[in-house]
Structure 1
Amino acid sequence: MNIESLCFCILFVLITGIITYVSARQTKDTQSFYTGGKRITSFQNGMAIAGDAMSAGAFLGLTGLVYNKGYDGVVYAIGYATGMPLVLFLFAEKIRRLGKYTFSDVVHAKLGGSAVRIFGGLATLVIVLFYLTAQLAGAGQLVGLFFGLNYYDSVIIMTILMVVYVNFGGMQATTWVQIIKAGTMLFAGSLMTFLVFHIFDFKISSLLHAAVAQREAGTALLAPLTLPNSPASSISLGITLMAGTAGLPHVLMKFFTVSDVRKARWSVFWATGLMSYFYVITGILGFGAMAILSHNPRYLDAHGTIMGGGNMVALHLAHAVGGDILLGFVSAVAFATVLAVVSGLTLSGAAAVSHDLYGAVRAGTGNGRSEFLLSRIATIVIGVVAMCLAFMFRNQNVAYMISLAFSIACSSTFPVLFLSIYWKKLTVAGAVWGGSSGLMTAVAMTIMGPSVWVSVFGYKEPLITLDPPTLVSMTVAFVVSTLVSLAFKPRIVEATSENAVLQVM
């Protein structure tokens, strides 16, 4: 057990526990639970949004991908960074004007009908569960390796912590945990980058030459390897990483925590800058790890691969350049990363159950108190389900698994949200059928693809080679939405204040 890691983690849990306690005293109703009472500033909200992106998948997974694949790993980082400007230009101001809580609120304000809420709630749950599974899988490997616990016990501990944070603190506690995590993650990454550059005299060319010299592929690692071999999968991955962010329900929820449209716009501005800087760091650290760890027996197992798996590359690099102290600090930051991100995801999933699904079933006859109670129950159920899924996906790279969540968002929530705002002829039937078709196509192709059919089920060959399936599934969503909307007359919806807002957007 690494004593430094344990001490830093205990310190973080104490700090965030105090934040949760203070937030719980201010979280007494549905609005404060979902939006933090709209008391969050634009910079704080931008830090929190960036904190969502600076996940275990980004820090541990992306560094491991670059270490193993070179340029092809950097593509993931570039793709994630390009997603936020798309959110800024397409959605940020428009959805903030509605002043609601969830993705379903936005679409329902334009189209009406309980079917839209039900679809939105189910789509949100699927996306959240995929994303949560990736984070908990990374947490299990992290805590298990450095705290002397087995993988399953580590996942259980993280699940309990995230349920406590969300249930008692709501959005305000979740946001502040994410802000603290984002700040410490940026500091830790910057410090590691400085130490890596110091070894190579602050010359990027020296770093890259030293990195590729450690591998048989040589300079080929500085060029795309996957694109020439699988153009369709490469294009599909690019679309996934760019458009996926715009469909993530837990990111969209952040626009409702600030008090006005201007703050929503500035939130995305701050988030974009912080995320872009962070993803540059992960690429540098990946090549730094390639140069420093590739033939260092202290960090390799008997088969010559990284001890603990590819997701542990960043932590081994921290030890190599900064010793036990830096390893302890970075381990605690990674721990904080997982805890903050899973809290935000769980809150989004709870909102989908209590606000969207329950709201659709009760058709407005429920009350805030019952919705508030249901959200807390949903938090526990979602945590247990995600924990069980994490047990199944323990050997997957977490950055890769997050791309699957992005793919499902691209194929369900993103097309419906885009069309509901920019295409006046979209109908309730078009939104539900199109979004559902894209969602089912994405999930089915993901199961039959290499990520599940081979890695989880153990078959030698996948039934579908396109990975991720966005190129097909997102096309299905847009085409079905369009055709159904044109084929069936829209249902007449009574004018509401939300509709009036959208008509002038």
Structure 2
Amino acid sequence: MSTFSLDTATVLAAGDASEHRVLIISLFVAFVLATLGITIWAGRQTKDATDFYAGGRSFTGFQNGLAISGDYMSAASFLGIAGAIALFGYDGFLYSIGFLVAWLIALLLVAEPLRNSGRFTMGDVLAFRMRQRPVRTAAGVSTIVVSIFYLLAQMAGAGALVALLLGISSEAGKIAIVILVGIVMILYVAIGGMKGTTWVQMIKAVLLIAGTLLITALVMFKFNWNISSLLGAAAENSGKGAAFLEPGLKYGVDSMTKIDFISLGLALVLGTAGLPHILIRFYTVPTARVARKSVNWAIGIIGGFYLMTIALGFGAAALLKQETIIESNAAGNTAAPLLAQEIGGGAGSAGGAILLAIISAVAFATILAVVAGLTLASSSSFAHDLYVNVIRKGNASEKEEVRAARWSTVGIGGAAIFLGVFARDLNVAFLVALAFAVAASANLPTILYSLFWKRFTTQGALWSIYGGLASSVLLVLFSPVVSGAPSAMFPGVDFQWFPLSNPGLISIPLGFLLGWVGTLVSKEQPNIDKYAELEVRSLTGTHAH
């Protein structure tokens, strides 16, 4: 889940794909068939809204922790962080630290009270002591916007990845691949609901950890299990010497890059606790204690994964020429697959082809699991918050609600397919950064204010959500990631005036400020009794669900 490019058409361009295409296709088909079988099995056990949205609250702490890990570790983090370390050494590893620290915020502030206070969505928590319709509308809009931005990035990457590995070069073929991936995604969610999606995410997490562990073991074996030898070889081969192992290569160039990193770090650390597809995972466990356990498991699994990116990134720097990595992809996203091919015996070797195929299949599984989680989060919010509580004003049966959720899955999936077709050749990195920034600027302030500030009002929630959303989108639109830079989405034009690549440094404090000011100027009297009930419920779990 990083802000690196998801232009996956170049991510796995290393090597001759024709040599291992049969193996790759076999792995892809095996994964899709296995997970579709599990999805159909889960769908048969989905009887009501609790089953569809929360998997019947039947998952253990370990299972949910594994699923959270599968939902959280996207292809961007798997490929992007390894590439950042390979190119920038110490500064690249800072991303891993940011992602891991983010879970402490989720554990300490959000996981338990959120699970105790809501039923299925973030909107349940926000609307508990405020006016239902405006707050649920705002929560639904924010959830869908964050999910669509993130979903679009993953869809475009998935389409490009599969098209490249299957040797499809025609535009019609690439469009067909995006549509096919989208259909598989819709089937996962519409048929299996939360149960099916959770099992897909657990399988993906196991595959990702196993693939990463295999490459890590091979790299460490190559350097006699001596981390100092690995780091020394990486520093020497990088051409940057000792500076490769010290801060400053990427974020210490000038004062603006330092400020930009602070902005990005804020978005990463605070955004995780506001990401809709992560938040809904806390509702899938039976008790608050299990919710805490699941986050602890997730921290351990994710922490282990990011520690292994040290071996992936520095291993790529030690065994591959910097020019080779950059020529394949300027952002370094090819580092992990290139390393897999090299450590397996090099281009043209059977071992290299096998490892490259395995890493390719893992990347594809990673994308499918993440898009399933995102689709479920947005369809749940539309059906539960907007359709049932805003449009139908709470007068809908559970059967109607589940039907609406399934149809909204088709609608949101269709929108993602449509937008993914047009975005398949674009650098969509800014969409990932924007998703984190919106989550931290709009969702997190309203969640924390709702849980911990008794004076918080409906107007404060609306100002915070819409203000954080609007400021994030506006600042990114006029930032260097959209125009005015060679790596921008539209490099041929220049209308940027905001100097930072991530808006978090401005939009996150603004989201908190707007929530505070909106509450102070509101004429609405806060419902103190409702807040007292919410406080008891969030801290003790009494009457939860």
Partner of 1:466: 500
Paired with 2:489 and 2:418, the residues of 1 have a C-alpha distance of 13
Q: Secondary structure at the match of 1:453?
A: coil
- Compared CA separation, residues 87 and 352, structure 1 to 2 (3 A): same
Q: Secondary structure at the match of 1:305?
A: helix
Partner of 1:428: 458
2:343 is the counterpart of 1:313: no
Q: Secondary structure at the match of 2:198?
A: helix
Partner of 1:271: 298
State the Cα RMSD in Å.
Answer: 2.2
Q: Letter of the 2:479 partner, please give it.
A: G
Partner of 2:423: 392
Gapped regions of structure 1 (runs ≥ 5): none
Paired with 2:238 and 2:359, the residues of 1 have a C-alpha distance of 27
CA contact (8 A) 1:412 1:439 kept: yes
Q: Letter of the 1:137 partner, please give it.
A: A
Q: Secondary structure at the match of 1:259?
A: coil
How many residues are treated as equivalent by the alignment? Answer: 498
Q: Secondary structure at the match of 2:445?
A: helix
- Compared CA separation, residues 309 and 75, structure 1 to 2 (3 A): closer
Q: Secondary structure at the match of 1:311?
A: coil
2:398 is the counterpart of 1:368: yes
Partner of 2:373: 344
1:404 to 434, 457, 469: 434
| Alpha-carbon offset, residue 221 of structure 1 | 2.9
Partner of 2:248: 224
More displaced, 275-284 or 16-25?
275-284
| Alpha-carbon offset, residue 50 of structure 1 | 0.8
Partner of 1:104: 123
CA contact (8 A) 1:416 1:431 kept: yes
CA contact (8 A) 1:289 1:313 kept: yes
Paired with 1:255 and 1:292, the residues of 2 have a C-alpha distance of 41
Q: Secondary structure at the match of 1:452?
A: coil
Deviation string, structure 1 residues 7-26 (Cα, Å, up to 9, x no partner): 11111112101101101101
Partner of 2:473: 443
Partner of 1:326: 355
Partner of 1:115: 134
CA contact (8 A) 1:61 1:311 kept: yes
- Compared CA separation, residues 5 and 34, structure 1 to 2 (3 A): same
Paired with 1:449 and 1:433, the residues of 2 have a C-alpha distance of 23
Paired with 1:325 and 1:131, the residues of 2 have a C-alpha distance of 30
- Compared CA separation, residues 441 and 71, structure 1 to 2 (3 A): same
2:53 is the counterpart of 1:34: yes
1:9 to 6, 16, 28: 28
Q: How does 1:18-417 map to 2 (within 5 A)?
A: 18-150=37-169, 151-222=174-245, 223-228=247-252, 229=254, 230=256, 231-294=258-321, 305-306=327-328, 310-322=332-344, 323-358=352-387, 359-390=389-420, 391-392=422-423, 394-396=425-427, 401-417=431-447
Paired with 1:221 and 1:129, the residues of 2 have a C-alpha distance of 37
Q: Secondary structure at the match of 1:364?
A: coil
CA contact (8 A) 1:226 1:234 kept: no
Q: Letter of the 1:141 partner, please give it.
A: A
Paired with 1:59 and 1:439, the residues of 2 have a C-alpha distance of 27
Paired with 1:420 and 1:98, the residues of 2 have a C-alpha distance of 10
Q: Letter of the 1:81 partner, please give it.
A: L
1:457 to 490, 493, 503: 490
Paired with 2:424 and 2:451, the residues of 1 have a C-alpha distance of 36
Q: Letter of the 2:234 partner, please give it.
A: A
CA contact (8 A) 1:247 1:409 kept: yes
- Compared CA separation, residues 267 and 283, structure 1 to 2 (3 A): same
Paired with 2:115 and 2:73, the residues of 1 have a C-alpha distance of 23
CA contact (8 A) 1:141 1:308 kept: no
| Alpha-carbon offset, residue 284 of structure 1 | 2.3
State the TM-score, normalizing by the size of structure 1: 0.93
- Compared CA separation, residues 248 and 36, structure 1 to 2 (3 A): same
Deviation string, structure 1 residues 372-401 (Cα, Å, up to 9, x no partner): 222222212222332344442644375x75
CA contact (8 A) 2:467 2:514 kept: yes
Paired with 2:322 and 2:462, the residues of 1 have a C-alpha distance of 53
- Compared CA separation, residues 428 and 295, structure 1 to 2 (3 A): closer
Deviation string, structure 1 residues 128-150 (Cα, Å, up to 9, x no partner): 11211222233233222222134
Deviation string, structure 1 residues 82-122 (Cα, Å, up to 9, x no partner): 11111111011111112500111111113243111011000
Q: Letter of the 2:180 partner, please give it.
A: I
Paired with 1:385 and 1:447, the residues of 2 have a C-alpha distance of 21
| Alpha-carbon offset, residue 414 of structure 1 | 0.6
- Compared CA separation, residues 410 and 387, structure 1 to 2 (3 A): same
State the TM-score, normalizing by the size of structure 2: 0.86
More displaced, 374-383 or 101-110?
374-383
| Alpha-carbon offset, residue 365 of structure 1 | 1.9
CA contact (8 A) 2:238 2:318 kept: no
Identity %: 40
Paired with 2:87 and 2:156, the residues of 1 have a C-alpha distance of 19
